[in-house]
Structure 1
Amino acid sequence: MKKLILSLAILASTFTACTSSDDNSSAQPVTGEITGPITVDKTYPLGTYTLKGIVKINAGVTVTFDAGSTITCDKITGDNALVVLNGGKLIINGTSALPVVFTEKSGIPGSWGGIIVYGDAPIKAIGGVTTSTSEDGNALPYGGTNPTHNGGSLNYVRVEYAGAKLADGTKENNGFTFYSCGSGTTLDHLVSYKGADDGYEFFGGTVSMTNAISYGNYDDAFDWQDGWQGQNNSNWYALQVTKGNFGMEIECSNNNNAFWPKVTNVTLKRAAGCTPEVAGDIQVDAFQFKKEGNGDFSNVIVDGYGNYTEGANVYQGAAVKIQDATTNTNQVNGSKIKLTNVKISNTTQTNPVGATGAISVSLPSGQFTTSTTATGASLTTGAWSTVGGVNLIQ
């Protein structure tokens, strides 16, 4: 009997210990501060973090964020940004239900520098040079000969309230900024929310982006220069509210070229009452091509680029505008600009036009086609695309 009682006691003790261990094994959110430079591999588990300063991920270093984390910075503490230097990697493992959110305490657009990634993929900057210096305040070189550069994998990431200048930068930063990133970099299910500059900007490179939302950014929803040539882009969605310039600002830094990016499934929307970012600087078109910009776009929805009135002047929004004569001659007439299966609504000028009457735009046969059946971006909603209970895909 004593042996039986002892055996039962041991069994009960073992069962209780296992139950306690199982309860404690569940991953618990953590808190912490993120500062830089980051010089060794680091994984940030599910948690709530404060990002302080211009945090740089050094070359040879991989930084990983687990799903569901929130990273907050505070503009009162000074300049803040997350910068991946060439050779470093940022791995963000968000999910639809558990995105990784980078935000700023005040909730005011233009309060921090967003996520900036550097690579050494090819570029063609002003003057045809293959390397240049960033305008983000870091003043770092970018450009190279590595088209497959890998700066990491960004999945289900939202950046909020970015667009600040860093240090003495010549330009505001964007929600996401990619300097000569290569095709080995993964950009999927990203949201740029209420920034003071562009939602996304590419400075050359070969990286592609899929399933991207640009919501309420003050400048352009999507922007690129320096010969960006990503080929596998799809499902881009933009809604410009309150303030906003072009849906897409497309240029190639005055370099005529034989390459261009391709984007399928595009939705560009401008809400009623949305005004240009700066009074007197009228930029209210869906697609703007300038400085030898080009591209191939298919299955496109353009909606809401109608008239804008400022003072006694009425400005007519356009689905497609060609800003300068050189772009018209080399890119339009050279069949390097192509928009097919385009559905246009609530937009004043439905045919491609020039910025002035001196620019007569006529895309070659088959380079611009409209339809009533285009579907635009096809995105699945979830926590990743919802802010404050509002679905960003409208």
Structure 2
Amino acid sequence: MKKLLLSLAVLGTLFTGCSNDDEENNTPVTPQVGEISGDITTTTSYAYGNYTLKGIVRVKSGATLTIAAGSTVTCDKINGDNALVVENGGKLMIEGTESSPVIFTEVSKVPGSWGGIIMYGDAPVKVLGGGNTSISEDGLSLNYGGSNAAHNGGSLKYVRVEYAGKKLADGTKELNGFSFYSVGSGTTLDHLVSYMGADDGFEFYGGTVSLTNAISYGNYDDSFDWQDGWQGQNNTNWYAYQTNKGNFGIEIEASANNNDFYPKFTNVTLKRATGCTPEVAGDVQVDAIQFKKEGNGDFTNVVIDGYGDYTEGGIVYQGAAIKIQDATTNTNQVNGSKIKLTGVKITNTSQNVAGGSSSITVAFPEGRFTTNTTATGASLASGSWSTVNGLNLIQ
């Protein structure tokens, strides 16, 4: 009996101890409140909290800006231009988690309300005319380009940008959810979401950085876009869903420079919802992947769905899984075996492969374009990072 009482007492102590520990570990953390504005010139950290982004915030060369997991950063378009800009030499460290992403949003929740996240580096580019540097098209008119392939602009993990796409400064160009100007391979881009923007979800202007585990949902122009000789080699799990408005699933160009940059991708899903229309009436762009101006790439395990016929002004436009827009790209990139798409599953789409005009006949060399009805495309785990107002973005 004494042994039994002793055992019960020990067990009671153990259970009491566990309960106390759990209570201590689950103590709610009060979110901080504050404003992020002006130039970031030194190492600056923001703890978990709810912050207001006011104006064009620039992380200057030599500075690092860190924002803790679970934070929400909100801007308001009535205050004018808002954007988070990382200049070459600066770093942005935002490492959320699947259950505690970092969210950038705007008060009105209207697409095109702010400038999104813009990052600059000095990795290699090849711009129109063959040059190695250029001026940004974001309205800020900053230089980009260089020779530092391993440029490190920081780490973005589990970050969501909502309602971006506003024209900045000179008002001549729209902006994307995420814009990467000559960003290098030392930068980490993982589990990023661009939601309901008025231009592209993600755009790369040259550089060597890769993007893994990405969602582009409901963006008005292209889900993914690149130019200026972007050459990321380790891209995987790209998921795009075009809803109300949308042009290409992926727009690919190399600024009219014949090249061997050949960015590489595995596990890509491109979907277009029924009733989705081009961004601008009269400018019909309804294809899943468009190659133009010497663009190329290597894609494996791709799912394409929903790029069917679109009728405007009494004319029926046939969507294509793969569109080769111009004759030069067809000659140098297709015939030159610099475009490769293997394991492609195509459903609810009018054409597999098409040229941009009736004079362009596209014939991939053997093994450079293959289909597979069992392709699976992007493989992403749902969670708070991929859920907006109760909507799971992975449809």
CA distance in 1, matches of 2:41, 2:199: 30
State the 1:169 CA deviation. Answer: 4.4
CA displacement, residues 361-391 of structure 1 (integer Å, 9 cap, x when unaligned):
0010000000111000000000000000010
Give the equivalent residue in structure 2 for 1:10. Answer: none
Partner of 1:181: 183
User: Retained in 2: the 8 A contact 1:138–1:169?
Assistant: no
Counterpart among 326, 330, 333 of residue 331 in structure 1: 333
Percent pairwise identity: 73
Please name the residue that 1:97 is paired with. 99
Structure 2 residue 270 is matched with structure 1 residue 268: yes
Pairing 1:103-114 to 2, within 5 Å after superposition: 103-114=105-116
After TM superposition, give the deviation of residue 260 of structure 1 in Å. 1.3
Partner of 1:4: none
Give the structure 1 partner of residue 314 of structure 2. Answer: 312
Alignment of 1:114-193 (within 5 A): 114-193=116-195
Distance 1:305 1:44 in 2: 43
Deviation at 1:24, TM superposition (A): 12
Counterpart of 2:39 in 1: which secondary structure?
coil
Give 1:171 deviation, angstroms. Answer: 1.5
In structure 2, relative to structure 1, the CA distance for the partners of 1:361 and 1:57 (3 Å cut) is same
Q: 2:240 aligns with which of 238, 241, 254?
A: 238
Deviation for aligned residue 1:26 = 6.1
Give the equivalent residue in structure 1 for 2:14.
none
Q: How big is each residue's C-alpha offset from its partner over 1:336-358, in whole Å with a ceiling of 9 and x where there is no partner?
A: 011000000000002x2101110
User: Deviation of residue 25 (structure 1)?
Assistant: 8.4
Match of 1:374 in 2: 375
In the TM superposition, what is the alpha-carbon distance from 1:95 to its structure 2 partner?
Answer: 0.3
Shift of 1:259: 1.9
Residue number among 341, 344, 352 corresponding to 1:342 in the alignment = 344
The residue type paired with residue 181 of structure 1 is V
What is residue 15 of structure 1 aligned with on the other side?
none
Tell me the equivalent position of 1:293: 295
Name the CA distance, whole Å, in 2 between partners of 1:94 and 1:227: 30
Unaligned runs of at least 5 residues, structure 2: 1-20
Deviation at 1:242, TM superposition (A): 0.2
The offset of 1:36, in angstroms, is: 1.3
Displacement of 1:258 in angstroms is 1.6
Instruction: State the 1:170 CA deviation.
Output: 2.9
Residues 46, 225 of structure 1: CA spacing in aligned structure 2 closer, same or farther, 3 A cutoff?
same
Residues paired across the two proteins, number: 374
- Cα deviation for residue 23 of structure 1 reads 9.6
Superposition deviation, residue 27 in structure 1: 3.7
Residue in structure 2 matched with residue 361 of structure 1 by the alignment: 362
- 2:394 is matched by which residue type in structure 1? I
- For the 8 Å contact 1:299–1:340, the answer to whether it is kept is yes
Q: Is there any run of 5+ residues in structure 1 with no aligned partner, and where?
A: 1-18
Question: 2:394 corresponds to which residue?
Answer: 393
Question: Residue 116 and residue 305 in structure 1: after superposition, are their counterparts in 2 closer, same or farther (change >3 A)?
Answer: same
CA distance in 2, matches of 1:226, 1:311: 34
User: Could you tell me how far 1:28 is from its partner in structure 2?
Assistant: 2.0
- The amino acid that maps onto 2:177 is G
Describe the superposition over 1:113-148 as per-residue Cα deviations: whole angstroms up to 9, x where unpaired. Answer: 000000000000000100000010110000000000
Cα distance between partner residues in 1 of 2:223 and 2:310: 18
In structure 1, how many angstroms separate the alpha carbons of the residues matched to 2:248 and 2:372?
Answer: 22
Normalising by structure 2, report the TM-score: 0.93
| Deviation string, structure 1 residues 16-49 (Cα, Å, up to 9, x no partner) | xxx9xx7998642110011010111111111000
Q: Distance in 1 between matches of 2:38 and 2:364?
A: 50
> 2-side partners of 1:39 and 1:237: how far apart?
35
Secondary structure, counterpart of 2:342 in structure 1:
strand
